Amino acid sequence: MAIEWNIGFIPYKRAQLTPDRTALVYEDQPVTYRELNQRVNKAAHMLEKKGIKKGDRVALLLLNCVEFLEVYFALAKLGAILVPLNWRLAGPELEYQLNNCDVRMLVFHDVFLGSVDIIRERIKVEQDKFLFLESGSKGLPGLEPPKCPFWAQDYLSLVEPESTDEPEPCEPVTLDDPLAILYTSGVTGSPKGAVVSHLQTFFKNFQVGLYIDASQDDIVIAQMPLFHSGGLFIVATPALCAGMTLVMRRGFDPNEFAEDIQRYRGTIVFALTTMWRMILETGKLDSIDVNSVRRVVGGGERTPPSLFDELAKRNLFMQQGFGQTENSAMMLLPREDIKRKMGSIGKPGFFTEVWIDDGKGRRLPPGEIGEICAKGPTVMSGYWNMPEETAKAVTDGGVLHTGDLGYMDEEGYFYIVDRVKDMYRSGGENVYPAEVEKILSTHPKISMVAIIGVPDDRWGETGMAFVVPKNGEKITENEVLDYLKDKVARYKYPSKVMFMDELPLTATMKVKKAELKARYGRV
């Protein structure tokens, strides 16, 4: 029997239970749970008048803002499907995603007007469903932010006159209905839209809540993008479900982030490894009070022990986790094990079972490397309109094949070795770039490093390292290679080293290896 319940109940129930508590502090402006639910309802009535109904796809091309969350929850109440767009994408990438899932409506910020204008004639969004929203961002010096174009309608003008009463959708919305489509980065082939249901999202809320001992007295400091599963499903939705206060900004600023911890007496802090690196470089953590913080959740990429140590010196103990768009918040390393299990991605959460697979369906014992597999009620429903890709990723019994290689130790703690697709073979030997990257990331002169496999006449493939030196440091190729001496086998050494000012990063600060492979993979 289908259970009629949906993620839209979060603001609705919070408005009943804790109406006067602060739900959000956006750019220093508080919004109570009562006000949030009223805004959600106004958005839902507007969407209904625009013809949006259950199953329709609505895309958001927005910086972090209250309107992002109000549309998200409004769509949940109506049973329509959210399609959050990565605003770092180029026009053709946005065009593909919008058309791939037949988006009917697009809500976009003024700063992305140019990107939308270029593709609007080639996408399936209906003419009266381009909604323009002012971001409040400052334009370039001497230039005013763009105004609503003739071919769009102003979002706030449409929402303002609507009722704050609860909407009554034409069709019931159930827990098994799709809530959102989140597109993966498309490292191999076209991007895939991971479909996430209301039920899966509720279980993620419960899982995250158990990880962090959630309390409605908590103040969450986070500036991760809401278009990403981390920002929306690991931070914002669980925080609001638990009745916390979420402190948000349009985007990430390391100085502001650090100051917000002290200003709002943050108790839970979410930030990815690259974000922490940038925060530490500001020196702000040495001049603010962080004694209010009881949980620090991070990771998102391979994290050197030195970064954990730097944070620990300031009484910030970062718990590293592991997840994917297809199954976020799979694991988290307990705080008490940070030093003892350095490098581990933790143990599986309460609602996730994880194991190491040999590629033939057999579970491997501790210490053996294989593919990380998982199952449980947090795994995605599948990929939008991609049955063959879905069948590869999610097999019988709802088993998710992550594409990550790893192993488990005797105590049940998991470790990532590398992505299956990042591994290369040199002279018949398997080489996992992440193993070498982990070592080089501890070099005192290196800020970031990424390694890919490139063709080699003698060995078939060899490694090419892309190195970003720390500010003010100079480093040679010999210094890079000498640092690996006696730490890894010679065949794992990269034979080519390229120094760069920066590496191409995703919105979640992960290195775009696909871009490096496309540009340099035929060297």
DSSP E strands, 432-478: 446-456, 460-469
pLDDT-derived band at 188, boundaries 50, 70, 90? very low
- 36 within domain boundaries: yes
80, 88, 211, 123: which is closest to 508 by C-alpha? Answer: 88
Taking a C-beta distance cutoff of 8 angstroms, is the pair 80, 50 a contact? Answer: no
Q: State whether the Cα torsion 25-31-37-43 is positive or negative.
A: negative
Per DSSP, which regions of 4-160 are E strands?
A: 22-26, 29-32, 57-61, 81-84, 105-109, 130-133, 153-154
Burial class (CB in 10 A: 0-12, 13-18, 19+), 237: buried
Q: What is the mean pLDDT of the chain?
A: 92
Torsion of CA 55, 56, 62, 65, to 10 degrees: -50
Residue 80, domain member (yes or no): yes
- Tell me the pLDDT band of 185, cut-offs 50, 70 and 90: low
- pLDDT, greater one: 308 or 512: 308
Q: Name the band, by pLDDT with cuts 50, 70 and 90, for residue 450.
A: very high
Q: Rounded to 10 degrees, what is the CA torsion of 215, 216, 218, 220?
A: 110
Residue at 118 is within a domain: yes
Q: Which residue has the tokens 């479909």?
A: 195
> Which CATH number characterizes residue 476's domain?
3.30.300.30
In a domain, residue 288? The reply is no
Last residue of a domain, one of 195, 216, 238: 195
Write down which residue in 175, 195, 215 finishes a domain.
195
Q: Closest Cα to residue 404, out of 325, 324, 463, 507?
A: 324
pLDDT of res. 508: 65
Q: Which of 264, 351, 267, 272 is nearest to 319 (CA)?
A: 272
pLDDT over 70 (residue 186): no
Q: What is the rounded distance in angstroms from the CA atom of residue 419 to the CA atom of residue 193? A: 20
Q: Is the pLDDT of residue 20 over 70?
A: yes
The CATH number that applies at residue 92 is 3.40.50.12780
Percent of the chain with pLDDT over 70: 95
In a domain, 218, yes or no: no
Cα-based distances in Å from 72 to 43, 66, 236, 303: 9, 10, 11, 32
CB 404 within 8 A of CB 422: no
Is residue 169 a contact partner of residue 43, using CB atoms and an 8 Å limit? no
Prediction pTM value:
0.84
Domain contains 129: yes
Q: Residue 512 sits in which domain range?
A: 429-520
List all residues 6 or more positions away from 5 whose beta carbon is below 8 Å from its beta carbon: 173, 174, 175, 198
In a domain, 6, yes or no: no
Looking at the 3D structure of the chain, how many domains does it have? Answer: 2
d(CA 337, CA 131) in angstroms, rounded, equals 48
B/e letters for 124-141, b = 16+ CB within 10 Å, e = fewer, are ebeeebbbbbbbeeeeee
Taking 90 as the threshold, does the pLDDT of residue 413 lie above it?
A: yes
- Examine residue 404 and state whether it is found in any structural domain, yes or no: no
Distance between CA atoms of residues 85 and 106, nearest Å: 10
Q: Which residue has the higher pLDDT, 421 or 124?
A: 124
438/68 Cα distance (integer angstroms):
36
Q: pLDDT band for 139, please (50, 70, 90 cuts).
A: low
What is the model's pLDDT at position 459? 73
- Per-residue model confidence as pLDDT tens digits over 259-302: 999 999 999 999 988 789 889 999 999 999 999 999 999 876 66
Domain boundary among 195, 210, 241: 195
pLDDT of 435 above 80: no
At 43-91, the pLDDT tens digits run: 999 999 999 999 999 999 999 999 999 999 999 999 999 999 988 887 8
Task: Check residue 34 and give its pLDDT.
Answer: 98
